[in-house]
Amino acid sequence: MRRFVAKNSKYLHFITRSFSSSSLESSSGLFPQVTLETINPKVLTCEFAVRGAIVTHAMRLQEQLKQNPGSLPFDEILVCDMGNPQLLGQQPITFFQEVLALCGLPSILDEVKHKTSSVRGCTCCSIYTFVSSIICSADSIERARQILDQIPGRTTGGYSHTQGIKGLRETIAYGIETRDGFPSNANDIFLTDGASPGVHIMMQLLLRSELDGILCPIPHYPLYSASIALHGGTLVPYYLDEATKWGLEISEIKSQLEAARSKGVTVRALVLSEENQQQIVELCKKEGIVLLADEVYQENVYAPDKKFQSFKKIARSMGYQEKDISLVSFHAVSEGYYGECEKRGGYMEVTGFSADIAEQIYKVASINSCNSNITGQILTSLVMSPPKVGDESYEVYTAEKEGILSSLARRAQTLEDAFNSLEGVTCNKVEGAMYLFPRLHLPQKAIKAAEAEHIALDAFYARRLLEETGNVVIPGSGFGQVPGTWHIRCTILLQETKIPAIVKRISEFHKKFMDEFRD
Amino acid sequence: MRRFVAKNSKYLHFITRSFSSSSLESSSGLFPQVTLETINPKVLTCEFAVRGAIVTHAMRLQEQLKQNPGSLPFDEILVCDMGNPQLLGQQPITFFQEVLALCGLPSILDEVKHKTSSVRGCTCCSIYTFVSSIICSADSIERARQILDQIPGRTTGGYSHTQGIKGLRETIAYGIETRDGFPSNANDIFLTDGASPGVHIMMQLLLRSELDGILCPIPHYPLYSASIALHGGTLVPYYLDEATKWGLEISEIKSQLEAARSKGVTVRALVLSEENQQQIVELCKKEGIVLLADEVYQENVYAPDKKFQSFKKIARSMGYQEKDISLVSFHAVSEGYYGECEKRGGYMEVTGFSADIAEQIYKVASINSCNSNITGQILTSLVMSPPKVGDESYEVYTAEKEGILSSLARRAQTLEDAFNSLEGVTCNKVEGAMYLFPRLHLPQKAIKAAEAEHIALDAFYARRLLEETGNVVIPGSGFGQVPGTWHIRCTILLQETKIPAIVKRISEFHKKFMDEFRD
């Protein structure tokens, strides 16, 4: 039991550290080999809020609820912290699920074929009908056959090419071509375990020391800041403008670029998602900066007047070719309307690098074993090549996809309205992605209370919200924000039936919070 | 078409570089953003032979065979370069395949249950019989149900805990306890995409600069050397003794440790697989060195008098507890008799670190999204908890496993005998793992010929073997070897029916090679 307590204290300790910045107990007397003083300082300094203190705290409360029901002022943890739709009740897309299952079990495919012909006419319980009612529409079967034919040895258990299976990359390249109207080459595609491995590879490639910088939007998903810190570079921030729905002024990027250069920092790359695309492409070309396009939300667009346009499409439309601009696009199956987070699939498309640099990227990808598991590879090919009009699955597929997207849009609207109705809270519309980032204008007394506990105001708010209601949101400081402003990040992914409960909890909590701290 | 040629030239160029060390063509005029001079020099210097030049060369020849059959002196590439059994014809283990398929499609489970009761008595084509004949034995169904119950939301599409799903880690911890007879804690287990992510995390943690060193056996799998180079540390080599079947003298480690220290290098960790275990544990404890135990071959033991013993078991048997020694054990589902390479599963068990260091490891694991895809997680739990006596699957499972292991032992013996029968070649017995590492004693004339082409002698030999016979082996220099000795690495994994062809090709090639170069 002593050991179990010791293990638990790890998490308690983590929380203590993050919430009260108390000095660390040194255990170096007991474990002499490795201490905080002797590990890589880059590891020590980097932060990753989305799996950080508040999430760990929530897990502990969840465990407490399980062990001692009734011991907390709420009976359920409602997680609005993570883009994890299927865990929150969303069902997988049928077509994707069918094809993946069939690919995992090629013998079913053969049996289906065999039995179909042998039992034709048996009406009492037609096997084909049975099997097809459980697992397969005709195009799922056909697609699974095609995919298995593309896999060397028709097995999902063999290592594939460092960049992933050629045939699947060809399907994806074709999907990109169809999307953009410009060529895409399977040799430029690396199938990755989500977007992270691709980001790490590019950081490893570009960052030589803290004198190399990466321009990152603030706020942004902290994978970038964490990866830059871990690989020893400098994050050069540029701020998105909350007043214009997180819009981007190109002048802000230019002035941050100049500021970085005046400090001796070489800006190697710029991270961004879809904003002011032509100006950005122009700037990157002119300044010799690699464009890292985070395009994981290409299928999560809710605003009716918005349509996804890839940076590659924009650059090519402007007449820029490979030689003009180095451009890496990231996509992941954890996002999108399907939300297949733990299948771990994705790709990066790497264009505009010379052959010798492409070779170095390939080498690092090999060393990192970056290529995703075969299920993730197959799923990535399905996402980029979904059922088409006329396919048996098309109707179900479209209904599922539109059902999810329209439900997400409704949830986003309800939560946005709820936040905007709160005293001192303003919240921009979600036009894509999966998150709201409402701003908290909190009273001085709350600021003082947070200071007294040595934690950021938004972390103080988020912790109170969690402890009093069981709602988990992430403090905005984990994503970056204009100094002196405070936000929380809230996903729109919890099941629609749970949204009223979230709204009620947040509204009641916020009123109580303001009553306690109002100046 | 121009673009295609340019892409191809990437690979040609890679080969040229590796095989003739010709100076690099600079393409910086065309692609100004990123050049070899401006990327991270650590990326430039690291090497990864197992997916390096000879493999790329082989892929090109394979493509050539496909495009122009008959254009090469052989009609098939025989890959003896990679531990990739399923691609070489090995069938997956039925039980694993069944459970994974069922977990991927929970509706089948429910249907099976439902239909079984509703169609009882229908004998014309009992659905239950049909379904079970294709996909499931009773214990597969039961296991899949248990696993789904352990997964939050019963879905394989949701993000899991940073360390992987708790219930699966508990199964694995129980498997480790059963294996070792000593406790294992699910909180110490990180489920990883193969072994690589765990290795990278530990290197990131331990290596601050080139003044931190890692003791590595020579020869060794180049993941370690590549990862050390990429993270900027120093590889401190210790040589295994070929004369004693790659045995390990503890005095060799001690003298290399002293030599490194005299150069100002702090040795942080020691990598090894199973050898002189008690002495190693003692040394690591005494010198404050982290023990990184590469235990991916724990199920590949062929020698009848050998049995796998984990380092944790050894350490605990010696009376050493957590506080005495920092020990990380790596395992991966790509190895073992099942060889599920592209499922990407594995674990690392992290013991003997203080709470503050454990917290840092957890953070880096989060940032790297190290936890494997859910299929890999499930498979890792199955591997550590296979069917038991009395389970319906047990007999088939045991027959499959023993069939594979005994076939591997036969293949190893045939290849070992073949290498030993060659002029100037000596080859140690394989007692585990999947590789032979025969030593080439080649004549001076061959050495001179290789020098004239500016490549290592073993790379020269491997390239000639590939070009003349289509057999792919990896030059020993990629794994390290005593300076002045030359080896090739050859897997024992090609289908048994292909082994005679390999033996014939190698024997004929070697005779011809010796006839050409004999002094």
Domain boundary among B379, B409, B428: B379
- Residue A190, min C-alpha distance to chain B (Å): 14
Co-location of B346 and B453 in the same domain: no
Same domain as A149, residue A172:
no
Q: Say what the ipTM of the complex is.
A: 0.75
Are residue B338 and residue B236 in the same domain, yes or no? yes
Integer-rounded Cα radius of gyration of chain A? 25
How far B289 CA lies from chain A's nearest CA (Å)?
A: 6
CA B344 to chain centre: 11
Q: Of B39, B72, B105, which residue constitutes the final position of a domain?
A: B72
Task: Examine the domain organization and report whether A376 and A426 are in the same domain.
Answer: no
- Among A39, A343, A359, beta carbon nearest to B357: A39
Mutation target for A interface from B9, B36, B105: give the one with most A CBs within 10 A.
B105
Q: Best interface-test mutation with B: which of A24, A31, A87 has the largest number of B CBs within 10 A?
A: A31
Q: Is residue B15 very low, low, confident or very high in pLDDT (cuts 50, 70, 90)?
A: very low
Nearest Cβ partner of A230 from B31, B39, B367? Answer: B367
Q: For residue B232, give the CATH number of its domain.
A: 3.40.640.10
What are the chain B neighbours of A326 within 8 Å (beta carbons)?
A: 31, 33-34
Is residue A88 assigned to a domain?
Answer: no
Closest Cα to residue B491, out of B91, B90, B218?
B90
Q: Do A334 and A273 fall within a single domain?
A: yes
Residues from chain A that touch B376, judged by Cβ atoms under 8 A, are 373
Of B3, B97, B159, the CB nearest to A87: B159
Show residues of chain A in contact with B230, CB under 8 Å. Answer: 204, 364, 367
Q: Is the pLDDT of residue B279 over 70?
A: yes
Using pLDDT thresholds of 50, 70 and 90, give the confidence band for residue B416: very high
Contacts with B14 from chain A: Cβ below 8 Å: 359, 362
Across B230-252, average pLDDT: 89
Same domain assignment for residues B356 and B403: no
* Overall residue count recorded for chain B in this entry: 519
Residue B322 in any domain: the answer is yes
In a domain, B270, yes or no: yes
Among A354-363, B40-49, B376-385, where is mean pLDDT lowest?
A: B40-49
Which residues from B are below 8 Å from A359, CB to CB?
A: 10, 13-14, 17
Three-state secondary structure string covering A152-205: HHHCCCCCCCCCCCHHHHHHHHHHHHHHHCCCCCHHHEEEECCCHHHHHHHHHH
Using a CB-CB distance cutoff of 8 angstroms, which residues of chain A are in contact with residue B197?
369
Pairs of residues, one from chain A and one from chain B, whose beta carbons lie less than 8 Å apart: 354
Residue B37 class from Cβ within 10 Å (0-12 exposed, 13-18 middle, 19+ buried)? exposed
- Measured CA to CA, the distance from residue B38 to residue B349 in angstroms comes to 38
CA A157 to CA A373: how far, in whole Å? 9
Q: Which of B346-350, B428-432, B510-514 shows the highest mean pLDDT? A: B510-514
- Residue B80 inside a domain? The answer is no
* B127/A127 CB distance under 8 A: yes
Closest CA to A347 of A206, A207, A170: A170
CATH number, domain containing residue B115: 1.10.287.1970
Band of residue B307 on the pLDDT scale cut at 50, 70, 90: confident
Best mutation target among B155, B349, B491 (most A Cβ atoms within 10 Å) is: B155
CA–CA min distance B204, chain A (Å): 7
Q: Which of B28, B42, B125 sits opposite A119 (nearest CB)?
A: B125
- Verify that A101 and A209 share a domain, yes or no: no
- CA pair distance A83, A490, nearest whole angstrom: 9
Q: Does residue A144 lie in a domain region? A: yes
Question: What is the distance in angstroms between the Cα of A227 and the nearest Cα belonging to chain B?
Answer: 7
Q: Which residue has the higher pLDDT, A499 or B161?
A: A499
Domain that holds residue A10: 2-72
Provide the shortest C-alpha distance from residue B504 to chain A (in Å). 24
Residues A313 and A354 in one domain: yes
> Looking at residue A6, what is its pLDDT?
31
Assess if residue B251 is contained within a domain.
yes
User: For residue A46, which residues of chain B lie inside 8 Å, CB to CB?
Assistant: 363, 367
CATH code where residue B494 lies: 3.90.1150.10
- Asked if residue B299 lies in contact with residue B276, where contact means CB atoms within 8 angstroms, the answer is no
> Within a 10 A sphere around the Cβ of B497, how many other Cβ atoms?
8
pLDDT of the residue at B86: 61
Closest-CA distance of chain B to residue A483, Å: 24
Pick from A382, A415, A442: which residue ends a domain?
A382
A3 contacts B185? CB cut-off 8 A: yes
**Are A415 and A355 in a shared domain?**
no
**B155 min Cα distance to partner chain A (Å):** 7
Residues A233 and A106 in one domain: no
Predicted pLDDT of residue B320: 93
Whether B384 is in a domain gets the answer no
pLDDT of residue A173: 92
pLDDT at residue A82, as a whole number: 65
Query: From the list A59, A223, A342, which residue is nearest B374 (CB)?
Result: A342
Q: How far is CA A56 from CA A46, A342, A453, B340, in A?
A: 17, 19, 19, 33
Alpha-carbon distance of B179 to B313, in angstroms, equals 9
Does residue B5 have a pLDDT over 60?
no
Question: Looking at the partner chain, which of A100, A153, A230 has a beta carbon nearest the beta carbon of B87?
Answer: A153
What pLDDT does B233 receive?
94
The pLDDT score that the predictor gives to residue B244 is 84
CA closest to A355 among chain B residues:
B10
Domain tally, chain A: 4
Phi, psi of A474 (to 5 degrees): -100, 135
Packing angle of the helix pair A499-517, A444-452 (nearest 10 deg):
90
Q: What is the pLDDT of residues B87-142, one digit of tens each?
A: 566 777 888 888 887 787 776 666 655 444 333 333 333 334 444 444 578 888 88
Q: Are residues B121 and B98 in the same domain?
A: yes
- Determine, yes or no, domain membership for A79: no
Contact A100 B101 (CB under 8 A): no
The greatest distance separating any two alpha carbons of chain A, rounded to the nearest whole angstrom, comes to 80
Same domain? For B303 and B235 the reply is yes
- Residues of chain A with confidence (pLDDT) below 50: 1-30, 114-134
